Structure 1
């Protein structure tokens, strides 16, 4: 199915016109001037109020945009086994913005080898927004590997992840935020990691929605937990 014919409800685009599917296709920073109309300014401010990131800019960027090549030189020549385990990617969300959630899902579908991706499990932690109800179910019905789990009350991140794990069928469970993008080849590298490294979490490259617009600043960081990258007002101790 051509990308510009996907069942993306126009209701959830800032400017529901076809050029939005092709403009901003490559990762870039969007800068705004002072020429926004009153309606656009209202949407810009409301997006920040609802999400604490620039939803206005996200809604203007293709959900299929390309990303920079980020692997280190030694990774480019790395040879991986043909017998890697598959993975269930579990994405928990609550009242997530439409364009951001779709971009997360498409980055997984479009940049993960078919044999390695068992499924994507979307866990709706009792969202209230209408676009995350029937419209989301209708849109995701296009993709056989995507399933949606609805929680009947707000459970929080940990319980939501456990519910996702309970229905997952993959050999490896991968947890991603609902507002990130994975890059080409990252799941292959992640799934090829030795079992002895299971205590180390390999953070798939993350793109951050920051001022003034969606900005690519992350790559393959190894960390135990992932937090929002909001620059502190005081200098950080890097020791």
Structure 2
């Protein structure tokens, strides 16, 4: 990301609501008492990019659902990710806390550290350089409450790495897949699937999860074997969980 431009943009900036009209009109049933833990891993992330992620979670999530935001520092060396970040977070919101690894663990084991310390019924792992849009959380919680044996992901928009502009992913709906080299790729929905929709708001199956945003019931995540703690640094965890 272009850090100099990111540093000039408000941490709580407005972004366009990219939901289709059907989503705007839809209401979601959320069971009483269900709580969400959002887990964000960072290693030498630009401070403003990280904080914009946190702000978007706090300000675009229903307060009665969001239990906590757990930041896991995977041994960052940037000075402003130490005391500066700790001081900022301490005055931001009591639901936000920082866990700091004493050794470099990589993304996957750091995500497991976050899960081990989470108290919510639902775990959502987010990358440290995303922004949650209006209404992002309710559909995920609704689907997990309806079917606690599933793992879900949101629709993913785009943040331009140079301009930091936020815009909707152009074109038709896509889902994740992979080639024989195990590289993640986006694929158009097959006709048999898109033609089966009763509404554009219907969830649909995807062979592989996107790595930047994964949501699961904590009990189901534990029962499926969790992430493979033998995976190092980053990559592979979304395949691992999808195959399970």
* TM-score, normalisation: structure 2: 0.66
User: What's the CA shift for 1:147?
Assistant: 0.8
Mind listing any 5+ residue stretches in structure 2 that lack a counterpart? 177-208, 213-244
Unaligned runs of 5+ in 1: 1-52, 228-239
Written as runs of structure 1 = structure 2, the 5 A alignment for 1:21-170 is 53-83=1-31, 85-142=34-91, 143-170=93-120
1:226 matched to 2:211? The reply is yes
The partner residue of 1:186 within 133, 136, 139 is: 136
Q: Residue 167 and residue 81 in structure 1: after superposition, are their counterparts in 2 closer, same or farther (change >3 A)?
A: same
Q: What does residue 220 of structure 2 align with?
A: none
Contact 1:108 1:182 in 2 (8 A): yes
SS at match of 1:203: coil
Q: How far does residue 210 in structure 1 lie from its aligned partner after superposition?
A: 1.8
> Which structure has more strand as a fraction of its residues?
2
Q: For 1:87-129, what per-residue CA distance to the aligned partner results, in whole angstroms no more than 9, with x for missing partners?
A: 1000000001011011000000000010110000000000011
Contact 1:181–1:206 (CA<8 Å) still a contact in 2? no
Give the Cα separation in 2 of the matches to 1:64 and 1:104: 9
Q: TM-score normalised to the size of structure 1?
A: 0.67
1:236 paired residue number: none
Partners of 1:221 and 1:108 in 2: CA distance: 24
More displaced stretch, 167-176 vs 214-223: 214-223
In the TM superposition, residue 196 of structure 1 has moved relative to its aligned partner by 3.6
- Secondary structure, aligned partner of 1:192: helix
Aligned residues: 174
Distance 1:186 1:105 in 2: 14
Matched residues in 1 for 2:66 and 2:174: separation? 21
Which residue matches 2:206?
A: none
RMSD: 2.1
